Amino acid sequence: MPKKSREVLAANLRRALDAYKEAGLSLTAWAELKHLQRKQVERVATAKVGCSVDFLDDLAKALEVEPWQLMVPGLDLKAPPRIALTTDDIRQIEQLQAVTAETVRRFTLRKANE
CATH of the domain at 51: 1.10.260.40
Residues 92 and 67 in one domain: no
Question: What is the rounded average pLDDT for all residues in the chain?
Answer: 90
CB 47 within 8 A of CB 6: yes
Does a structural domain hold residue 76? no
Residues 93 and 56 in one domain: no
User: Domain limits at 89?
Assistant: 84-114
Is the pTM for the entire model greater than 0.85?
Answer: no
CB 38 within 8 A of CB 31: yes
Residue 1 clears pLDDT 80, i.e. is over it = no
Residues 66 and 113 in one domain: no
In degrees, to the nearest 5, what angle opens at C-alpha 40 toward C-alphas 34 and 41?
55
28-42 per-position pLDDT tens digit: 999 999 999 999 999
Does a structural domain hold residue 42? yes
CB 44 within 8 A of CB 10: yes
Q: How many separate domains does the chain show?
A: 2
13-22 per-position pLDDT tens digit: 999 999 999 9
